Amino acid sequence: MSATETPTAAVAAAAPIAPAPRSGWIDHWEPEDPAFWEATGRTTARRNLIFSILAEHLGFSVWLLWSVSAALLAKAGFGFTPQQLFWLVAVPNLVGSLLRLPYTFAVPKFGGRNWTVVSALLLLIPTGLFSYFVQRPDTPYWVFVVIAATAGVGGGNFASSMASINFFFPADKKGAALGLNAAGGNAGVAVIQFFLPIIVGGAGAFGLVKASESGLVLQRAGYLYAALAVLAAVCAFAFMNNLRAAYSRPREQLAVVRYQHTWIMAFLYIGTFGSFIGFSAAMPLLIKINFFRSPIPTASIGINFAYYAFLGALVGSVARPFGGWLADKYGGARVTFGAFAAMILGTLGVLFSLTRLDTVPTPDPAKLAAWAKDPSSFPGFAPAVVHAVNHNSDIFPWFLACFLFVFAATGIGNGSAYRMIPAIWKSYAASAGPVGSTQRQDAEAKATKEASAVLGIVGAVGALGGFLIPITFSSPWVSDPVAATHSAFIIFTAFYLVCLVVTWAVYLRKGAPMAKAGV
């Protein structure tokens, strides 16, 4: 024993690290300590990540439940206009973005595991209301707006899930962990858009599954996701943990609104995640409006949205962890800058493909109403309609390829932008003192808590894009939804250009403080 080593210190150093409990509260958590991480941290963190992904995945599916079901309401006997349908798609995104703030603050207050249980059970409200009212075509439109708004609780799950998982992993693994967590949640959009048409008796899977002859049964989707929500709550209760180290008061978390980078990153996240969720929500209706015609349920020509609408969300979800990995390796700001450049190119490609479409002649509304009342009176599609729809169908592969390129860029940008946040706050802590000092350790602990709060605020603001994009496609003043898509994509391209410039000026420009910090 050396002269400076006490028996107590030697015993403490040799003491084994106690394994973390399988569920409930964990009092001691030091992921930055290599010994702790290898002994117990890695296994516990991964277990919590798995079940966090499950709950968040279901939350996203319920959040985007209306993105695909809105496009099926006409076949179920509802006579809503395209403008009304876009609002049903947009309202859950608005509510979800607003709920992300309280959901973020709930994790440090109540515990990540406890709040995952609560947030999963809250999904029973939108799924139950959906199941009941889609069986009643005489329900007023405003009731459906309220029902769609309740689906916003699923959007809140993302913020609480990310805030919780951020505490479990060391700084050099946060990018990949947050990317996987977010990707698992984002994939819920693709899953609901792929499986819902099949579950309810519609066609899907690129036409391999045919529509049921007995008609649509939309309520099945609500019943299924209600059951899955209960399963997620049970799994979270049995296998997840709360961290004492994550506890803080809402007032302490709200202090992050004073940092300018909180709002800069929120602005950039509107461009990445806002585009992902907004385009995911709008894509089924975009395909239906531009490439499909079905004046009566038994007669249709063109591209069926149910075959392809899920692809965008799937590509964006798969790309997200790749963006986190790239950010860990090359720096989040560089990858985010590249993502915005790719989004500009892809959006211009989508816009160009839309300008190549032929205008499809629209029947008189009185005739449409008569055909809907008596489908046997439908005389068939006019030659001009058939020619225009066939021409537009030939353009569809180019439209889809460009759109999927945009989705891939949003996914990469989502992962890299979220990785930038812990890096920014780590740079704040680095100025508190030398490595290993008490001041530095306290600053790093504070930075982790603040970064989790920022993740929630940024996620909340960014999700507003999910509301703004569908509304841009079909605002109350829009009389022609097809023409509106052209001007909408011009607006989006200009916005991405602004995001590109901001990313360079604040995080990459030579001499910028955050560029020196390697954000």
SS (H, E, C) 287-328: HHHHHEEEEECCEEEECCHHHHCHHHHHHHHHHHHHHHHHHH
Quick one: pLDDT at residue 340? Answer: 96
Quick one: pLDDT at residue 513? Answer: 81
Q: Which helix (H) or strand (E) holds 4?
A: none
Q: What is the separation of C-alpha 17 from the centre of its chain, rounded to a whole number of angstroms? A: 37
Tell me, letter by letter, the H, E, C secondary structure of 128-181: HHHHHHCCCCCCCHHHHHHHHHHCCHHHHHHHHHHHHHHHHCCHHHHHHHHHHH
Q: Thinking of the domain 33-368+380-516, which architecture would CATH place it in?
A: Up-down Bundle (1.20)
Task: Enumerate the domain spans of the chain.
Answer: 33-368+380-516
Quick one: pLDDT at residue 249? Answer: 65
**SS3 at position 390:** helix
User: CA end-to-end span of the chain, whole Å?
Assistant: 44
Closest CA to 319 of 404, 401, 196: 404
CA 240/CA 54 separation, integer angstroms:
11
Strands 24-26, 241-243: pairing is parallel
CA 243/CA 107 separation, integer angstroms:
9
Quick one: pLDDT at residue 121? Answer: 95
Quick one: pLDDT at residue 370? Answer: 78
Q: Which residues contact 294 (CB under 8 A, 6 or more apart)?
A: 74, 300, 301
Strand ranges for 12-110 from DSSP E: 24-26
CA-based Rg of the chain, rounded to a whole angstrom? 25
Show the tokens assigned to 364: 């008189």
Strands 299-302, 292-296: pairing is antiparallel
Show the tokens assigned to 454: 């920022």
DSSP bridge pairs for 301: 293
Closest CA to 169 of 451, 357, 408, 478: 451
Q: Is 294 exposed, middle or buried (0-12, 13-18, 19+ CB in 10 A)?
A: middle
CA 104/CA 120 separation, integer angstroms:
15
Closest CA to 413 of 511, 282, 509, 270: 270
Quick one: pLDDT at residue 195? Answer: 84
Q: What is the separation of C-alpha 421 from the centre of its chain, rounded to a whole number of angstroms? A: 17
Between the alpha carbon of residue 511 and those of residues 30, 199, 425, 428, 514, the distances in Å are 34, 55, 19, 17, 9
What string of pLDDT tens digits covers the 519 residues of the chain? 444 444 444 434 444 565 666 667 888 888 878 888 888 888 888 999 999 999 999 998 998 888 888 878 877 777 777 778 878 888 898 898 888 888 887 887 788 889 999 999 999 999 999 999 888 888 899 999 999 999 999 988 877 888 788 788 887 777 678 778 877 887 888 888 888 888 877 666 665 556 566 667 788 889 999 999 999 999 999 999 888 876 666 666 677 778 888 899 999 999 998 898 888 877 887 888 888 887 766 777 888 877 888 888 889 888 888 888 888 888 889 999 999 999 999 999 999 998 888 888 777 777 777 777 777 787 888 888 888 888 888 989 999 999 999 999 999 998 898 888 878 877 776 666 666 677 777 776 777 777 777 877 888 888 888 788 877 776 544 456 666 777 888 889 999 999 999 999 998 888 888 777 777
DSSP bridge pairs for 296: 299
